[in-house]
Chains A and B, each alone.
Chain A
Amino acid sequence: MIELENVHKSFGAKKVLQGVDLSIAKGESMVIIGGSGTGKSVTLKSVLGLVTPDQGRILVDGQDVLQADRDAFLARFGMLFQGAALFDSLTVWQNVAFRLLRGSLKRPKEEARSIAIEKLRRVGMKAEVADLFPSELSGGMQKRVGLARAIAADPEIIFFDEPTTGLDPIMSGVINDLIREIVVEMGATAMTITHDMSSVRAIADKVAMLHDGVIQWTGPIAKLDDSGDPYLDQFIHGRAEGPIEAIR
C-alpha cells in the first residue's frame, strides 16, 4: 500500500505540491491525471525518493520511503519513463536485464539474457531486437523495451510516467493494453500519470485528479463520468471554459 500524507514540495518560489493526500491499495491501478505542470511527475518521483518533499510523509507498506534501505526499497519498483530513458550505450537486452546484471538481483549473464528475451516477447518484441541499440528503434518500440525493463525483475509496484506521450493512437492503444494486461497478470500495484484519457480508461481501477497542488478528486473509474466535480468534468471533456484557467 502506498500512502501520501500532506505532501508539500516547492521549487524556489513555485509551490508545486501543497498538501497531497492519496492512498493506493495493494494490487490497485491508480491513474493520476491533471494538466501540464500540476506536479504529477513530482508526486511520482517523491514516492521513489528521487525528489524529497519539503513537508509530509510518504509510506510504502507502512515504511517511510526516506528511511527505507534504498536498494531493498527500489528493488520492489519498476518504472516506465516518459521517453523510455533507455541507456544509449547498452544493447536492448542489456537495458532490459540491467537490474539482473548487477546489484542484489544479479544473475549469470546467460540467464539474465534469456529473461530479457522472455520479457521482450511479453511486450510483443522478437528476440532479434535484443542485440540492437535503442537508437535503432522507433519511439513505440523504445516504449515497449522500457516496459520490458520495468517488469524484468517482477516488481511489486510499477510506475508509468506518461506511457503514451509521443505515440500514434494505435500504438498508444497497444501500450495501454499491454500495461493493463501486465499489471493484472503480475498482480502489481500500479501508479500511472497521464493526461491521455484513453490511457486512463484502459489502465485505471481508480483515478485521482491533481490540481493546484492538491488531489482535487479521487474515485473509481466507473464514477469518472458522473463525478459532479466541475474541475474533473472540464478536464476529461477537454473544455476551455470552466474552473481550470486555460492560458490562451
Chain B
Amino acid sequence: MRLLSPLAHIGRAVLGLLAATGRVTLFAIDGVSHIVRPPFYGREFLAALLNIGWLSLPVVGLTAFFTGGALALQIYAGGARFSAEAVVPQIVAIGMVRELGPVLVGLMIAARVTSSIAAEIATMKVTEQIDALVTLSTHPMKYLTAPRVLAALLVVPVLVGVGDIIGIYGGFIVGTQQLGFNSATYLKNTADFLEIADIASSLIKGCAFGGIAAIMGCYFGMQSGRGAQGVGQATKASVQAAAVLILAANFILTSVFFTT
C-alpha cells in the first residue's frame, strides 16, 4: 500500500486539476453566453470599460515604454557581437508587436484587473451582496461577469495596440537619442518590417488574454471562501491562474500563428 501512495497522490492531483478545468470551462461558457443574452447592463459595462481600459493605460504605457527601451539596448549590445547593430528597429518592432507587447500587457492586466475583479466579487460574496443581487431578481453572471468579460475582450486588444506603439516609441527614443540612429531611417525600417499579420496576431492575443484575465477574476471571486482569508486566497489564486493561462495561451497562439 505504501508503494501505491505516491500514485494515489498523483491521481488525486490529476483528478482535481481536471475537475477544476471543467468547472472553469463551464463558468467561462456560461459567462460568455450571458454576453449575448438580455438583459444587458450598460452602466456596468461602461464602468468595466473605464476600469479595465482607461485606468490601465498608465501602467501599460510605462511598462511598454521601458521594455521597448531596454529591448533596443539589448539588441544593440547583442547585435554588436556579430556586427548586426543596424537591426535594432526591426527587432524592437517585431519583438514588441508579436511577443512582448501582448504578453506584458496581459500580465499587467492580470496583476491590476484580475486581482481587482476577484477581490471585489469575493467581498461581495462574503458580505452577501451576491445573494442580495439574486433576491433582487438580478442574475450575478449577467450583472457582474458578462459586462467585465465583454469589456476585457474589447479593450485589452486596444491596450495591446497602445502598448505596442509605446514600446516601439521607447525603442525609438533610445535608438535615436542614445544609440545614434537616424530618426527617419528608424521609423522607415520599423514600418517596412512589420506586416499586417504581426499586428493582427498581437491584437488577437490581446483579446484572448483579456478574456482569460476577466474570467479568472470573476471565477475565483465567485468561488471565494468566507472572511478576509477567503478574499485574499481568491485574489491570489485568480492572479496566479490568469498569469499562467496567459503564458500558456501565448505559447499556443504563437505556435498557431508563426510555425507554419
A→B interface (CB under 8 Å):
45, 48-50, 70-71, 74-75, 77-79, 81-83, 85-89, 98-99, 102-105, 149
Q: Which of B76-84, B102-110, B132-140, B219-227 contacts A (4 or more CB under 8 A)?
A: B132-140
With A102-B39, A103-B39 already in contact, the answer to whether A74 and B135 are too (CB < 8 A) is: yes
What's the Cα separation between A41 and B21 when bound, in Å? 31
B131 within 8 A of partner (CB): yes
Which chain B residues in 112-156 approach chain A with CB under 8 Å?
Answer: 123-124, 127-129, 131-132, 134-138
Task: Determine if B137 and A70 form an interchain contact, defined as CB atoms under 8 angstroms apart.
Answer: yes
Q: For A83, what are the chain B residues with a Cβ–Cβ distance below 8 Å?
A: 127-128
Extra inter-chain contacts (14) besides given A81-B131, A87-B124, CB under 8 Å:
A45-B131, A48-B134, A50-B131, A74-B134, A79-B135, A81-B128, A85-B127, A85-B128, A87-B132, A98-B138, A103-B137, A103-B138, A104-B137, A105-B137
Q: For A78, what are the chain B residues with a Cβ–Cβ distance below 8 Å?
A: 135
In the assembled complex, how far is the CB of residue B144 from the closest CB belonging to chain A, in whole angstroms? 11
In the assembled complex, how far is the CB of residue A68 from the closest CB belonging to chain B, in whole angstroms? 12
What's the Cα separation between A99 and B127 when bound, in Å? 19
Task: Determine if A81 and B132 form an interchain contact, defined as CB atoms under 8 angstroms apart.
Answer: yes
Contacting B129 at CB < 8 Å: which of A74, A85, A99, A103?
Answer: A85
Give the size category of B's interface with A.
10 to 19
Of all chain A residues, which has the CB nearest B130?
A85
What's the Cα separation between A81 and B39 when bound, in Å? 25
What's the Cα separation between A148 and B209 when bound, in Å? 42
What's the Cα separation between A85 and B128 when bound, in Å? 6
Q: For B54, what are the chain A residues with a Cβ–Cβ distance below 8 Å?
A: none
Which chain B residues in 11-48 approach chain A with CB under 8 Å?
Answer: 39, 41, 47
Task: Determine if B128 and A75 form an interchain contact, defined as CB atoms under 8 angstroms apart.
Answer: no
Task: Determine if A71 and B128 form an interchain contact, defined as CB atoms under 8 angstroms apart.
Answer: no
What's the Cα separation between A149 and B137 when bound, in Å? 13
Task: Determine if B136 and A98 form an interchain contact, defined as CB atoms under 8 angstroms apart.
Answer: yes
What's the Cα separation between A43 and B244 when bound, in Å? 41
Q: For B134, what are the chain A residues with a Cβ–Cβ distance below 8 Å?
A: 48-50, 74
Task: Determine if A102 and B41 form an interchain contact, defined as CB atoms under 8 angstroms apart.
Answer: yes
What's the Cα separation between A245 and B134 when bound, in Å? 36
B→A interface (CB under 8 Å):
39, 41, 47, 123-124, 127-129, 131-132, 134-138
Task: Determine if A77 and B135 form an interchain contact, defined as CB atoms under 8 angstroms apart.
Answer: yes
From B123, B127, B132, B138, residue with most partner A Cβ within 10 Å: B132
Q: For A105, what are the chain B residues with a Cβ–Cβ distance below 8 Å?
A: 137
In the assembled complex, how far is the CB of residue B253 from the closest CB belonging to chain A, in whole angstroms? 34
In the assembled complex, how far is the CB of residue A40 from the closest CB belonging to chain B, in whole angstroms? 14
Q: For B132, what are the chain A residues with a Cβ–Cβ distance below 8 Å?
A: 79, 81, 85-87
Contacting B135 at CB < 8 Å: which of A48, A86, A87, A103?
Answer: A48
In the assembled complex, how far is the CB of residue A193 from the closest CB belonging to chain B, in whole angstroms? 13
Please, could you name 10 A-B residue pairs with CB atoms under 8 Å apart, sorted by A? A48-B135, A77-B135, A78-B135, A81-B128, A81-B132, A83-B127, A86-B129, A86-B132, A89-B47, A99-B136
In the assembled complex, how far is the CB of residue A96 from the closest CB belonging to chain B, in whole angstroms? 11
What's the Cα separation between A137 and B234 when bound, in Å? 28
Question: Which are the 6 A-B pairs with shortest beta-carbon distances?
Answer: A85-B132, A85-B128, A74-B137, A79-B135, A81-B128, A99-B136
What's the Cα separation between A79 and B129 when bound, in Å? 12
What's the Cα separation between A98 and B135 when bound, in Å? 11
Of all chain B residues, which has the CB nearest A99?
B136
In the assembled complex, how far is the CB of residue B119 from the closest CB belonging to chain A, in whole angstroms? 12
Contacting B128 at CB < 8 Å: which of A74, A82, A98?
Answer: A82
What's the Cα separation between A88 and B124 when bound, in Å? 9
What's the Cα separation between A191 and B195 when bound, in Å? 67
In the assembled complex, how far is the CB of residue B45 from the closest CB belonging to chain A, in whole angstroms? 13
In the assembled complex, how far is the CB of residue B127 from the closest CB belonging to chain A, in whole angstroms? 6
Task: Determine if A74 and B131 form an interchain contact, defined as CB atoms under 8 angstroms apart.
Answer: no
What's the Cα separation between A85 and B136 when bound, in Å? 12
Task: Determine if B131 and A99 form an interchain contact, defined as CB atoms under 8 angstroms apart.
Answer: no
Of all chain B residues, which has the CB nearest A104?
B137
In the assembled complex, how far is the CB of residue A97 from the closest CB belonging to chain B, in whole angstroms? 10
